[in-house]
Structure 1
Amino acid sequence: MTSVSSNEGKLEEYSFIYGDEAVTYEVVRKPHPEGKKRKIAIKVHPNCEVIVNAPEDAERGDIHDAVMKRARWIYDALKEFRDRLQYVQSKEYVSGEMQFYLGRRYVLKVVEDRDAIANVKMERGKLLVTLNRFNEDKQALTKALVSGWYSMRAERIFHERLAALLPQATWVTGIPGFRVLPMTKQWGSCSTKGNLMLNPHLVKAPKACIDYVILHELCHIAEYNHSDKFWRLLTGVMPNWKEVKSRLDGMAELYLSE
């Protein structure tokens, strides 16, 4: 195993060779809180990004040694995520495809009924889409109907969960505004004014995962960063957030595929 580097501008990116593969990773440097143990943390994300969090004054050699010690683990984690991604394909919106809602799987069924109004409903383990006419736009119409159904459900479920969680978020005054907005890489965000944006695809996940994202964004109203204080605040309202986040991350590619 060897290591090569490429540091352009502020992006600190390196790679190492494991077997016959070059593995690239990004180093994110953070201030080191006084009195806390110095550590270098390595995270492999489901999208196959490898991020190394290190103290801002950490030596390059120390970072390299930490990565090399976990090179096999990094390689194995990447292989597992890549194997999983092989089964994630873009949806074609045809009968038989798998859809998700609140953590449960549903089989998509598309039927034609010329006397009916186009609609979507859940029925005995199926997501039933009714079109009043099959034509060359069948898949596009199905996709539009399914997307609209998810957005409508998301609006309702997110309102319910936000109302249920607000009593725990004692630092929030009033009811924050939120909107449902499709995003490709984020489950949610919080503006500097305290308004939330939530991804409609999140409604495909279990309620615990929805609660995690909402609480995460509510914590940003008090701490608009990912400081130690932020994580302590989140842990106070959801002690098992790491487990829930891991569950959501593990299904992200399936939930976000369209």
Structure 2
Amino acid sequence: MTSVSSKKCNKEEYSFVYGDEAVSYEVVRKPAVEGLSHQKSQRKIAIKVHPSCEVVVIAPEDTEREDIHKAMMKRAKWIYDALKEFRGHLEHVQPKQYVSGEMQFYLGRRYVLKVVEDADALPSVKMTRGKLLVTLTRFNDGKTSMVRTLVSRWYKARAERIFHERLSELVPHATWVEGIPSFRVLPMTKQWGSCSAKGSLMLNPHLIKAPKECIDYVILHELCHIAEHNHSEKFWRLLTSVMPNWKEVKSRLDGLAELYLNE
């Protein structure tokens, strides 16, 4: 493994070679935190691999280049593996055709879509043996549209039930909320949820595809907006008080957003 560097457009960028691939990364310098010793501040180097496959190193402004290089080499395999995983996600994000063999998601698990024809059955969707089984009375030119509609309705019905269960479970932890807030399940292209000025929640049905911990994060995030209407420091402190690991959960959800929102 070797390292090369480049500084362009006032951005501090470097790269290292792992196996047969050059991995580029940007270094963002931050002022040392007051109250921390110089030695402790020097050691605090954070490495982030984003779902977009960008690698960013956050380091105190006086950190030596060699210290950053050592940190990258120490975590080179982890960085490479994370990039490989995120690239795999991006490669498989293609418009859904709603045909047998496609992948669907529910509560963080993968299910294979299977579409069957049964002249004696009513159109339906059900989960069975690792599959999401869609039954149509007959196949015709409107098959794709019918499967899409049935699957969307199935997700929305599941979302309404599970979101209500999670909301009931989480509200007691949000002591600033009186009673269970009303909520609607409504598709959104770029948001998982929102909170109105009157404290009513709106949740994206695609969220039902995510693990329960991610669902809880979105619900708690919106419940915090009932007390704090913007993303102030007070808002983030409140969210941390009810979900200390929210950053990790958010990162996990962000990494899978393209898969879950794809339809």
Same fold per TM (> 0.5)?
Answer: yes
Relative to 1, partners in 2 of residues 1:242 and 1:139: Cα closer, same or farther, differing over 3 Å?
same
Aligned-partner Cα distance in 2 for 1:5–1:137? 53
1:112 corresponds, among 105, 112, 117, to 117
State the shift of 1:175 in Å. Answer: 2.2
Amino acid aligned to 2:237: R
Give the paired residue count. 247
SS of 2:158's partner is helix
Per the alignment, residue 62 of structure 1 pairs with none
State the shift of 1:134 in Å. Answer: 0.2
Aligned-partner Cα distance in 1 for 2:49–2:190? 15
CA offsets 1:47-78 (integer angstroms, 9 cap, x no match): 5689999xxxxxxxxxxxxxxxx9999x9777
Per the alignment, residue 235 of structure 1 pairs with 240
Write the mapping of 1:70-109 to structure 2, written as runs, cut at 5 A: 81-109=86-114
The farther-off stretch of 146-155 and 237-246 is 237-246
Per the alignment, residue 141 of structure 1 pairs with 146
Per the alignment, residue 251 of structure 1 pairs with 256
Is contact 2:240-2:246 (8 Å) kept? yes
Aligned-partner Cα distance in 2 for 1:35–1:193? 41
SS of 1:158's partner is helix
Is contact 2:89-2:259 (8 Å) kept? no
Aligned-partner Cα distance in 1 for 2:156–2:184? 10
Residues 1:218 and 2:223 are matched in the alignment: yes
Per the alignment, residue 43 of structure 2 pairs with none
Aligned-partner Cα distance in 2 for 1:50–1:172? 39
Aligned-partner Cα distance in 1 for 2:222–2:203? 9
Aligned-partner Cα distance in 2 for 1:156–1:255? 19
Give the TM-score of the pair, scaled to structure 1: 0.73
Residues 1:160 and 2:178 are matched in the alignment: no
Residues 1:121 and 2:130 are matched in the alignment: no
Is contact 2:89-2:256 (8 Å) kept? no
Aligned-partner Cα distance in 2 for 1:121–1:180? 20
Q: Which runs of 5+ in 2 are unaligned?
A: 17-23, 29-33, 37-45, 59-70
CA offsets 1:62-119 (integer angstroms, 9 cap, x no match): xxxxxxxx9999x977786445311211111111111111111111110101111101
Residues 1:202 and 2:207 are matched in the alignment: yes
Per the alignment, residue 66 of structure 2 pairs with none
Aligned-partner Cα distance in 1 for 2:170–2:148? 32
Q: CA RMSD in A?
A: 3.8
State the shift of 1:237 in Å. Answer: 0.9
Aligned-partner Cα distance in 2 for 1:197–1:50? 33
Give the TM-score of the pair, scaled to structure 2: 0.71
Aligned-partner Cα distance in 2 for 1:196–1:52? 36
Amino acid aligned to 1:84: H
Q: Which runs of 5+ in 1 are unaligned?
A: 7-14, 28-33, 54-69
Relative to 1, partners in 2 of residues 1:5 and 1:171: Cα closer, same or farther, differing over 3 Å?
farther
Relative to 1, partners in 2 of residues 1:214 and 1:88: Cα closer, same or farther, differing over 3 Å?
same
State the shift of 1:45 in Å. Answer: 4.5
Residues 1:177 and 2:182 are matched in the alignment: yes
Amino acid aligned to 2:190: K
SS of 1:172's partner is coil
